[in-house]
Amino acid sequence: MNKRHLEVPQNVWEDKRIPKETKYIYSYIYTKGFDRIITDINIGEIQQTIKIKNNGLKKSLDILERLKYLVYQEYATGMYTITLN
């Protein structure tokens, strides 16, 4: 998949299975990881934008992974490696 411009895919916003907070998290990850295969984020970065705890972030990432929008791995507490699909 070749991304030509920075725009969160419309199908994410229209997907009723994804909670609103999870959509915001996905858009943050998408903009940070634009034009990259792998992105590293931590909970502190996201907490500056969205009020969330590590467990909430993990649940959101689980939802996005189950729906095949991304693949993530937690390599330390609150530190994640994410690959966008």
In a domain, 46, yes or no: yes
In a domain, 35, yes or no: yes
In a domain, 5, yes or no: no
Name the domain count of the chain.
1
In a domain, 4, yes or no: no
| 71/53 Cα distance (integer angstroms) | 20
pLDDT digits (tens, 9 = 90+) for 24-72: 999 888 888 877 878 899 999 889 988 999 999 999 999 999 999 999 9
The pLDDT-based confidence of 6 (bands split at 50, 70, 90) is low
Whether residue 84 is predicted with pLDDT greater than 80 in this model: the reply is yes
Query: In 10 A of CB 10, how many CB atoms?
Result: 8
Q: What residue numbers bound the domain in which 50 lies?
A: 16-84
The structure's pTM equals: 0.83
In a domain, 2, yes or no: no
The pLDDT of residue 1: 44
Whether residue 2 is predicted with pLDDT greater than 80 in this model: the reply is no
CATH of the domain at 56: 3.30.1370.230
Q: How many angstroms separate the most distant Cα atoms in the chain?
A: 33
